[in-house]
Amino acid sequence: MVSNTDKKGYLSVQDLVVEYRSGGETVQAVNHISFELPGGRSLGLVGETGAGKTTTAKSIMRILPDHATQKVEGVIEYDGTDILKISEAEMQKVRGGKISMIFQDPMTALNPVKTVGEQIAEGLKVHQGLDKVKARAKAIEMLNTVGISEDRVDEYPHQFSGGMKQRVVIAIALACNPELIIADEPTTALDVTIQAQVLELIKKLQAERGTSMILITHDLGVVAQICDDVAIVYAGEIVEKGTLEEIYDHPMHPYTEGLFGAIPELSKDVDRLSPVPGLPPDPTSLPEGCYFAPRCPYATDACREKHFDLEKVSGSHYVRCIKKEQEG
Amino acid sequence: MALFEVEHLKKYFPTARGMVHAVDDVTFSIEEGTTMGLVGESGCGKSTLGRTMIHLLDSTEGVIRFRGEDVTHPDKKKLRRLREDMQIIFQDPYSSLNPRMTIQDTIMEPLKLSGRFAKEVLEEECVKLMDLAGIEKRFRDSYPHELDGGRRQRVGIARAIALMPKFVVCDEPVSALDVSIQAQILNLLMDLQEEYKLTYVFITHDLSVVRHISTHICVMYLGQMVETCPTQELFDHPMHPYTKALLSAIPSTDIHNKSQRIQLKGEITSPINPRPGCRFAQRCPYATEECSRPLALQEVRPGHFVSCCHVQEINQ
C-alpha cells in the first residue's frame, strides 16, 4: 500500500453512516463503513442486494436522494478535502471531473433524446470549458477509445446494443480523465463475451491512465479479474477486507466463506452448493450483536450479544468475527 | 427411449423488417431424469426454443416427440393433458406471479383445475407442496409482494411441480436472484429432480450454473445450435470456436490461474433474414467462404455434435 503521505488521488472513507427514511421507518443502509483507496489501485466492494454498496458509492458522489436521506455522517476525504463538507458548487467540479461514476444499467443511464456525442461532450464543456467543436472532437476520440466507430457519434442510444450503450456510459465517465472511477455493476447487464470485452477495456484504460477504481459487484469472478483489494459488505458494514490474495486464498469471515460456497466454480466439482442459509437482516431492525449471527453456522451466545469491530488478522487483512479472533 | 426429442425444430416470427429466425433447425433428445442446459447469449433463441418445446409457442417446422409420441400438433384435449406433464418455471419471480392471488391460491390453482383432487384435500396438498419447495406455512395467506425474490421463486417452483409433471423447462430461474439465494434454489431444483425423477431443460446464460446443474448442454448462437454433448465433455473438449470463446470469457474466481481469454470481435448480428450458413462466421477467427454453405451437425466424438465446417482443422 502507498503511504498516507501520498495524498494524490487518495480516497479515505471513515465511519460513514447513511440512514434513509422509508415507509415511516429508518433504514440503516450504511453502518460505519471505513476504507482507504490509494491512487491507482482498484477496490472491489462485494455484497448482495441491499448490502449498502451503491449507497456508499452515491455518498461519495453526493447524489443520494435528498427527500429520503435522513442522515449522512462520517468523513469522505478525497485529495485531503472532506467532500461531505464542501459546497454543492465545489462538489459539481469534483463530480464528473475528478470522480465519475459508471452506472449499472446502460439502458436507463443514457438520455434517450440526446445523441451519444452530445452526452459525452456535455461533461467536457462543463468541466474543461471546451467549446462545441473541441468537445465534439474529444467525444469522437472517446468513442474510438471505447471501440465505437466515430460515424456513430450522431446516433441516439436506442440505435445501440446493450454492450455498446455500456461503452458509451464508460466513455462519458472517462471523458474528463477522472482520477477515480466508481463502477456500479458495470457488466451485470451484459452477456459474458461482451462483459469480457468491457472488463478488458476498463483494465486497459486504468493501466494507461493510472485511474483508481471502486468496483461494486456481487460477482466474485469479475473482482478476481480486475481488483487489487476487496471489501466484503454485509448489512451495511464491511465484514472482511484485504488484498485480493488475502481474501481469495484465506477467506475468514463465515459470510465470505458462504459467498464462495454459493458460486459453482468451473474448476471444482461439487455435488451440492453450500449457500448461506436464510436471508440478510431487515435494515430497519438490525439484530443485536453480530448482524450475520442469525445465519452463521458458528454463532455462539457471545456473537448474539456483542457487535465486533474489524480486527487485523495479518498484513492488510481485517475481519469482523469473534471466531477468527479466537482461532488467531 | 428418450423422454423428449426435437428434430429440425424451427420457430420463425414475422416482423415488419422481415422474418426473425429465432430457432433454426435444432435437433436433440433428452433422457428421463437428466437435465439439458440451453446456453447462449441474449437473443440466441434459447427461451423461444424452451417455450416452443412445451407448446407455449407453435413451432414453424420440425417434429416434437414426448415419450416417443409425436406431439408437434396436439389438439386442445391432448394439449391440456400434455400441459400437466410439461411445466415451466419463469425467470422473473416478480412478474410471473399474480399479484392479487395469495400464495395458497396460486399453488392450489393447478390442483383445482386438474380436477384430480377433492376440495377437502386441496389445502393439505398445498401445505405439502409449500413444504417441498421450502416455503414456511406462515406465508399461506401472504401476497407475492410480501415475499422476497427467493421465496417468490419457490412459489413458482411449487406451482410448476404441483401436478408432478415429468418435464420442466426452467427459464433462467435464478438469474434475478442474489448468489446465496441462487444457490439455495439450485439445490432445491436438484433435490426435486432426484426425488421425483424430473427431466429439466435449464435455460441460462450463466455457464458456471449450467455446468453445475446439467448433464448435457446445447450451445446456441443466433437461433442455431452450434454444439451439443454431455456437460463434462463440453467443458473438457469444447470444439466449436464460439463455445471456446464463451467458456474462456467466464470470469473465474481462481486468482492464480488466469487463463488466456479468447476475445471475440464485434457483437451478435441480427436474426432477421440472416445470411445462409453459419451465423457465427462474422465474428469467427477461422471463418472462410465455405462457412456460407448450409450447416450440418457432425458427430465428431461419440455423443458430441458440432456444427462447424472447420471443426477438424481447428481442433487438431
From chain B, pick out residues whose CB is under 8 angstroms from the CB of A163: 267
> What average pLDDT does this structure show over A155-175?
89
pLDDT at A324: 60
> What average pLDDT does this structure show over A72-87?
94
pLDDT at A5: 44
Residue A290 lies in a domain: yes
**Whether pLDDT at A59 is above 90:** yes
What is the number of structural domains in chain A?
A: 2
Taking an 8 Å Cβ-Cβ cutoff, which residues of chain A contact chain B?
A: 48-49, 161-164, 191-197, 199-200, 218-222, 224-225, 244-245, 248-249, 258-267, 270, 272-277, 279
Residues 6+ apart with CB under 8 A from A50: A280, A283
Q: Say if B249 is an interface residue toward chain A (CB within 8 Å).
A: yes
**Whether pLDDT at A8 is above 80:** no
**Whether pLDDT at A24 is above 80:** yes
pLDDT at B186: 95
Q: Say if B120 is an interface residue toward chain A (CB within 8 Å).
A: no
From chain A, pick out residues whose CB is under 8 angstroms from the CB of B207: 192, 266
Asked if B148's CB is within 8 angstroms of A192's CB, the reply is no
**Whether pLDDT at A2 is above 70:** no
Residue A132 lies in a domain: yes
Which CATH number does the domain housing residue A201 bear?
3.40.50.300
- Chain B residue with minimal CA distance to A245? B255
* Residue B298 grid coordinates: 457432425
Q: What is the pLDDT of residues A94-117, one digit of tens each?
A: 998 899 999 888 778 899 999 999
Residue A44 shares a structural domain with residue A93 = yes
Instruction: Give the residue carrying C-alpha cell 429465432.
Output: B22
CATH class of B4-98+148-314: alpha beta
Residue A38 shares a structural domain with residue A127 = no
Under 8 Å CB pairs connecting chains A and B tally to 113
Task: Please tell me the distance in Å from B183's CA to the nearest CA on chain A.
Answer: 5
Residue A126 shares a structural domain with residue A267 = no
Task: Give me the residue spans of the domains in chain B.
Answer: 4-98+148-314
From chain B, pick out residues whose CB is under 8 angstroms from the CB of A218: 178-179
* Type of residue at B241: P
Question: Quick one: pLDDT band at residue A328, thresholds 50, 70, 90?
Answer: very low
Compute the distance between CA of residue B86 and CA of residue B70 in angstroms, rounded to an integer. Answer: 15
In order of A220, B142, B180, the CA distances from A278 in angstroms are: 20, 19, 9
> What average pLDDT does this structure show over A215-240?
94
In Å, how far from its chain's centre is CA A160? Answer: 25
**Backbone torsions φ then ψ of A250, nearest 5 degrees:** -135, 65
Q: Which of A114, A147, A177 is the last residue of a domain?
A: A177
**Whether pLDDT at A278 is above 90:** no
Compute the distance between CA of residue B2 and CA of residue B7 in angstroms, rounded to an integer. Answer: 13
Residue A208 shares a structural domain with residue A233 = yes
**Whether pLDDT at A4 is above 70:** no
Half-sphere exposure (CA, 13 Å, Cβ side) for B108? Answer: 19
**Whether pLDDT at A145 is above 90:** no
From chain A, pick out residues whose CB is under 8 angstroms from the CB of B261: 196, 200
Residue A210 shares a structural domain with residue A306 = yes
Question: Quick one: pLDDT band at residue A325, thresholds 50, 70, 90?
Answer: low
For residue A25, what are the domain limits? 11-98+178-327
Q: Which of A122, A144, A177 is the last residue of a domain?
A: A177
Kindly state the helix (H) or strand (E) to which residue A125 belongs, with its residue range: helix A116-128
Residue A86 shares a structural domain with residue A134 = no
* Residue A29 grid coordinates: 443502509
- Chain A residue with minimal CA distance to B148? A279
Q: Is the pTM higher than 0.90? A: no
Residue A298 lies in a domain: yes
Task: Please tell me the distance in Å from A145's CA to the nearest CA on chain B.
Answer: 15
Residue A249 CB neighbours (<10 A): 12
Stretches in chain B below the pLDDT threshold 70: 258-259
Task: Please tell me the distance in Å from B216's CA to the nearest CA on chain A.
Answer: 15
Q: Which of A177, A212, A238 is the last residue of a domain?
A: A177
From chain B, pick out residues whose CB is under 8 angstroms from the CB of A222: 251
For A168-216, give the secondary structure using H, E and C.
HHHHHHHCCCCCEEEEECCCCCCCHHHHHHHHHHHHHHHHHHCCEEEEE
Compute the distance between CA of residue A119 and CA of residue A170 in angstroms, rounded to an integer. Answer: 11
What DSSP character marks residue A159?
Answer: G
Q: Is the ipTM of this complex over 0.90?
A: no
Residue A231 shares a structural domain with residue A287 = yes
Residue A267 shares a structural domain with residue A281 = yes
Of the ranges A3-7, A323-327, B16-20, the best mean pLDDT one: B16-20
Residue A5 lies in a domain: no
From chain B, pick out residues whose CB is under 8 angstroms from the CB of A260: 253
* Residue B232 grid coordinates: 463434462
Q: Say if B81 is an interface residue toward chain A (CB within 8 Å).
A: no
Residue A265 lies in a domain: yes
* Type of residue at B28: F
pLDDT at A6: 52
Residue A172 shares a structural domain with residue A211 = no
**Whether pLDDT at A1 is above 50:** no
From chain B, pick out residues whose CB is under 8 angstroms from the CB of A245: 255
Q: What is the pLDDT of residues A286-311, one digit of tens each?
A: 999 999 999 999 999 999 999 999 99
Residues 6+ apart with CB under 8 A from B185: B150, B153, B154, B157, B173, B174, B177
Residue A209 lies in a domain: yes
pLDDT at B268: 73
Residue A184 shares a structural domain with residue A301 = yes
Residue A119 shares a structural domain with residue A239 = no
Residue A46 lies in a domain: yes
Residue A127 shares a structural domain with residue A80 = no
Q: What is the pLDDT of residues B111-162, one digit of tens each?
A: 999 999 999 999 999 999 999 999 999 999 999 999 988 999 999 999 999 9
Residue A89 lies in a domain: yes
In Å, how far from its chain's centre is CA A207? Answer: 18
Instruction: Give the residue carrying C-alpha cell 441480427.
Output: B270
Task: Please tell me the distance in Å from B75's CA to the nearest CA on chain A.
Answer: 39
Instruction: Give the residue carrying C-alpha cell 459508471.
Output: A102
Q: What letters, b where the CB count within 10 A reaches 16 and e where it falls short, cover A102-113? A: bbbebeebbeee
Compute the distance between CA of residue B124 and CA of residue A214 in angstroms, rounded to an integer. Answer: 51
